[in-house]
Amino acid sequence: MANLSVNICGVNFKNPVIAASGTFGFGKEFNEIYDIGVLGGVSTKGLTLEPRLGNPTPRIAEGYGVILNAVGLQNPGVDVFLREDLDFLKSKNIAIIANVAGRTIDDYAGICARLDGKVDMIELNISCPNVKCGGMAFGIKPESVAEVTRAAKSALKKTPLIVKLSPNVESIAANALAAQKGGADCVSLINTLTGMVVDIERRRPLIANNTGGVSGAGIKPIAVRMVWEVCRAVDIPVIGMGGITCAEDAIEFIMAGARAVQVGTANFTDTLAMPKIIDGLNAWLDRHGIADISEICGVLQLNG
């Protein structure tokens, strides 16, 4: 049994496998299938200050090896989360990451202040492709990434801040650097790639929102490349995600420099995907005679 635990910004994860925001709710449903206490952590469904109903349905579609979703941040609001869901997650003794979103800079600062000291980390969702943010897309330009990061960070006295980066940008490394300059303690990537699926019989996009975020196995090579680029650009820890289905996928991200990984779409394909990835990491490390997962973090060597 190798040591799988990792420490990110002072937060201990018993292993580097974290449920990605939006695929896992607040953990209660998956806990009916397995004890989610085996996970390293959970990034919650994206929270906003007020409850949100989200987009019309259909909210999901498939492509080859990928899915598209446009849920539109449906959530009960941060206060309901604090009242009804946080204690359950705490009882599981896992790292709790609150994923948060807003329409304005003040929204981000406000929700961070509300959660400060109550969760282990906060993950700033500035890259949700499925919500119209009043014309303001914080995740696109480095300047706005830095600005929203600064506002969130100034509202946080205790809880470390992760900024979740969008791949739908000119340079994800430049945005990662902007987040670092804005005070981010960590970055996570990639969020979904914006895509579209057409129902040719109806001559309309299949998803009610027209476009949706593409995720799943098919996007993994893009995600690994971006994680590698970002790891070279910043000094803060990086959490990698995008199409991870098995332990070997997770190891690719870790070798590219990610300290931990998040798993999203794979939870839909197999509800036991994450426990299997954790077991698989152990088996792979044992097979290679590696005692600690940190030994393979960032070991990627480029071809001459």
Partner 1 sequence: MKEQKVKILENAPIAAGIYKMRFALSEKTDGLFCGKFVNISVGDGAHLLRRPIAICEHGEENGVQAVTICYQVKGAGTQAMSRAKVGDELACVLPLGNGFRLSEEQKRVALIGGGVGIFPMLSVLKEYAGAGKDFYSYIGFRNRDAVCMADTFFSLSARAEIVTDDGSFGQKNNNAVAAFFADYEKARPDVVLACGPTPMLRALKTGLKERGIAVPCYVSLEERMGCGIGACLVCVCKKSGKEENARVCKDGPVFEIGEVEI
What does the per-residue mask of binding to partner 1 show for 213-242, with x meaning CB under 8 A? ---xx-------------------------
* Per-residue mark of binding to partner 1, 153-192 (x: CB under 8 A): ----------------------------------------
H/E element holding 230?
Answer: helix 220-233
Among 69, 125, 149, 159, binds partner 1 (CB under 8 A): 69
Q: Do the beta carbons of residue 227 and residue 251 sit within 8 Å?
A: no
Torsion of CA 263, 266, 270, 272, to 10 degrees: -10
Q: Which residues are bridge partners to 121 per DSSP?
A: 97
Active site residue 133: no
By the rule CB under 8 A, 37 interacts with partner 1 = no
Q: What is the closest distance, in whole angstroms, from the C-beta atom of residue 250 to partner 1 in the complex?
A: 17
Q: Which two tokens stand for residue 244?
A: 């991870």
Of 3, 5, 9, 25, the one binding partner 1 by CB under 8 A: 25
Q: Which of 11, 36, 10, 13 is nearest to 23 (CA)?
A: 36
Total number of residues that touch partner 1 (CB under 8 A):
38
Name the minimum Å distance from CB 53 to partner 1. Answer: 6
In the list 1, 53, 200, 302, the residue contacting partner 1 (rule: CB under 8 A) is 53
Would you count residue 50 as binding partner 1 (CB under 8 A)? no
Can you give the binding site for partner 1, defined by CB under 8 A? Answer: 22-25, 28-30, 32-34, 45, 51, 53-54, 57-62, 64-67, 69, 71, 74-75, 216-217, 265-272
Which residues does the annotation mark as catalytic? 128
